[in-house]
Structure 1
Amino acid sequence: MRADDLPGTAGPADPSPPPGLVVVGHFDEGAGYGVDRPQGSDSWLITWTTGGRGRLRQGGSETRAGAGDLVVLAPGVPHAYAVEPGARHWRFWWAHCQARPSWTPWLRPYATDDGPDGLYAIGPVPAALHDRMEGAWRRTHADARWTGGETPAGELGIVVAHGSAARELALCGLEEAVLLAAASARPPAAPPGLDDRVRRAQARMAADPGAPHTVRSLAAEVALSPSRFAHLFTEQVGHSPMRALLETRLRHAARLLEGADLSVERVASASGFASAFHFSRVFRARHGMPPGAYRDGMRPEITS
């Protein structure tokens, strides 16, 4: 896809960019602007507000964004965003991309409603860092146009990164923006400390995500009945032990796809999935693309 193929601003009927691309833009929209995607996006959407106010909804979660707020929407969940009613405009940077798995721990403390809908609201970033955040976004926009020589001059329109180098450079800029925001903003009020038995169960899943864990086996390891363990875990973490195990396995699978030359079938088995078909289905729902495409996107292009 070329930038020329994209609309100047996304309309209600405009689909999201295809997965695997890095697409970056800067909008300043007036009252009445909005986008509604009932099927969600095939890629992650990252926005950073520099003026005015916006409202973003993902599944059953919603947040408002003002100057200094960074909001991230995961793929595969119905979403909508618009200028907040009553606001005169909304000025914001945005990017569609395939988020790196390493960003997940930075985003997790900012998940809304315990994160089941994949909406992460970070902010506000301290004013002292706004210039650096702006610089990270501008470098992302410039690097997406990089072709191996001097970056061509251009307006703050929509750009699509072509080639592995431009894509990786743009992702590095986005990574800086996400890390700056997550490391400097004040997270939502933390819940009370986790029960040690819940913490031990989480550590057990992380240490061996491919093992045949069940609610019963995890409960036995922390000396609780299955029903008591499931209730305690869900109460403290916000979702069930099996959902936490699925997320752990997906993160492990993503790391294997990035760093090991394994088939999708072997990655599925090593990550605890019963079949490659099931693994591919849930991986695509989580990352917006099948495992093979994700792995190929992480490999540098070889040019002659």
Structure 2
Amino acid sequence: MRADGLPDTAAHPDSRDAGDSGDGEDTGRSGNTGNTGDTGSTGDTGSTGNTGDGGDPAPPPGLVVLGHFDQPPGYGVNRPHGSASWLFTWTIAGRGRLWLGGARTTAGAGDLVVLAPGVPHGYAVEPGARHWQFWWVHCQARPSWVTWLRPYGTGDGMYAVTSAAAGVRGRVGAAFRRMHADARWTGTDAPPAASPPNPQVAVAHGSAARELALCALEEIVLLTTADARPAAPRPGLDARIRRAQELIDADPGAPHTVRSLAGGVALSPSRFAHLFSRQLGQSPMRALREARLRHAARLLESTDLPVERVAAASGFVSPFHFNRAFRERYGEPPGAYRTTHGDVSG
């Protein structure tokens, strides 16, 4: 544990090939739940006690799961293995604190905080706060959202978007309520009417409900990022590690290795792997794998390249490993993802 009470998230270096890694996400075990309302088996249950080494569970990938919580002091969620999906939180009242890898932030009313998958994370009521009232959503983010969120990145895949305009907050709140209603739509009759926030967790099972819910979340991301002020760069991140991130993001399909990335920033491979993992909470090869999967998703959305060429262009030597890794991350195989999310017209 660190002095501030947050877990030590340093990961061990991993020199395996990122394209061929087939490790799934370990979502951990649940301890005593500290949330209000009935969250069911896919909700963000949280804990007020000791959850054990596995941490708190997260919803499986491929689902859109959301809820509205108003939590008292002592509530917290800890996922030392991260989550297979993105997590969006929007604070209505009170204060919360969130961490992802080595990045940390506090959230007050009107703040949208987004946590990328695959990195250890957690969140809790801010010490000294009387409560934390917030919306949360687990889903697979559309790749275009990362472009809008990037100016608000604070490191490690955390994005902190601060919005002060009361008019925007009202619109965002309405979008969350509509999203909560749309997620419960069965596809028959009329969609449920948007209602005041309630503690029930909504899970969008059908494709229509899922897409409607994601459209509402896209509106939320657009509204908040258009009105917000960018977060200050995270202090303390080594310039060489930041440069390595830039090398990965600039060309995720390149045959990067720990040795080549270390050479690009003038560090020995062992020192680079240790520093990268300590500062970012994941190994260089894990970060590369996530970047390759995001790149593949963008290609599937915006091109008609065959899946095998998408895999190769994204740095995956084996189409089999690409299909397995993509399904683990996005909850569906590449072909089905393109059918659902693709924008290419014939």
Q: Does structure 2 retain, via aligned residues, the 8 Å contact 1:70–1:181?
A: yes
For residue 46 of structure 2, the aligned residue among 3, 8, 11 is: 11
**3-state SS, counterpart of residue 299 of structure 1:** helix
- Whole-angstrom CA distance in 1 between matches of 2:255 and 2:80: 35
Query: Partner residue of 2:97?
Result: 55
1:25-104 counterparts in 2 under 5 A? 25-104=67-146
Q: What's the Cα RMSD here?
A: 3.9
Inter-CA distance 211–56: structure 2 relative to 1 (3 Å threshold): closer
1:132 aligns with 2:132: no
- 1:52 is displaced (CA, Å) by 0.1
1:143 aligns with 2:182: yes
Inter-CA distance 185–79: structure 2 relative to 1 (3 Å threshold): same
Inter-CA distance 68–295: structure 2 relative to 1 (3 Å threshold): farther
Query: Partner residue of 1:158?
Result: 201
- Whole-angstrom CA distance in 1 between matches of 2:224 and 2:159: 11
Inter-CA distance 277–125: structure 2 relative to 1 (3 Å threshold): farther
**3-state SS, counterpart of residue 5 of structure 1:** coil
Could you tell me which amino acid in structure 2 is paired with residue 33 of structure 1?
A: Y
1:276 aligns with 2:315: no
- 1:212 is displaced (CA, Å) by 6.5
Could you tell me which amino acid in structure 1 is paired with residue 208 of structure 2?
A: A
Query: Partner residue of 1:179?
Result: 222
Query: Partner residue of 2:25?
Result: none
Q: Does structure 2 retain, via aligned residues, the 8 Å contact 1:20–1:294?
A: no
- 1:6 is displaced (CA, Å) by 3.3
Could you tell me which amino acid in structure 2 is paired with residue 16 of structure 1?
A: A
Inter-CA distance 260–282: structure 2 relative to 1 (3 Å threshold): same
1:249-268 counterparts in 2 under 5 A? 249-260=292-303, 264-268=307-311
Inter-CA distance 212–298: structure 2 relative to 1 (3 Å threshold): closer
- 1:128 is displaced (CA, Å) by 2.9
TM-score with structure 2 setting the length: 0.65
**3-state SS, counterpart of residue 186 of structure 1:** coil
**3-state SS, counterpart of residue 254 of structure 1:** helix
Inter-CA distance 43–51: structure 2 relative to 1 (3 Å threshold): same
- Whole-angstrom CA distance in 1 between matches of 2:215 and 2:192: 19
Aligned length: 272
- Whole-angstrom CA distance in 2 between matches of 1:257 and 1:88: 45
Q: Does structure 2 retain, via aligned residues, the 8 Å contact 1:56–1:82?
A: yes
5+ long unaligned stretches in structure 1: 192-197, 218-225
Q: Does structure 2 retain, via aligned residues, the 8 Å contact 1:68–1:124?
A: yes
Q: Does structure 2 retain, via aligned residues, the 8 Å contact 1:6–1:158?
A: no
5+ long unaligned stretches in structure 2: 1-37, 235-242, 267-271, 273-278, 342-346
**Higher deviation after alignment, 52-61 or 267-276:** 267-276
- 1:249 is displaced (CA, Å) by 4.7
Query: Partner residue of 1:288?
Result: 329
- 1:293 is displaced (CA, Å) by 2.8
Q: Does structure 2 retain, via aligned residues, the 8 Å contact 1:144–1:166?
A: yes
Q: Does structure 2 retain, via aligned residues, the 8 Å contact 1:205–1:245?
A: no
Inter-CA distance 4–82: structure 2 relative to 1 (3 Å threshold): closer
Sequence identity percentage: 61
- Whole-angstrom CA distance in 1 between matches of 2:223 and 2:136: 16
Q: Does structure 2 retain, via aligned residues, the 8 Å contact 1:27–1:93?
A: yes
Q: Does structure 2 retain, via aligned residues, the 8 Å contact 1:214–1:242?
A: yes
Query: Partner residue of 1:220?
Result: none
**3-state SS, counterpart of residue 35 of structure 1:** strand
Q: Could you report, residue by residue, the CA deviation over 1:61-99 in whole angstroms, capped at 9, with x for unpaired residues? A: 111000011000111111111111110000001111000
Q: Does structure 1 retain, via aligned residues, the 8 Å contact 2:307–2:335?
A: no
Could you tell me which amino acid in structure 2 is paired with residue 25 of structure 1?
A: G
- 1:158 is displaced (CA, Å) by 0.8
Q: Does structure 2 retain, via aligned residues, the 8 Å contact 1:54–1:82?
A: yes
Q: Could you report, residue by residue, the CA deviation over 1:76-132 in whole angstroms, capped at 9, with x for unpaired residues? A: 1111111111100000011110000000111111111xx33x111111342231111
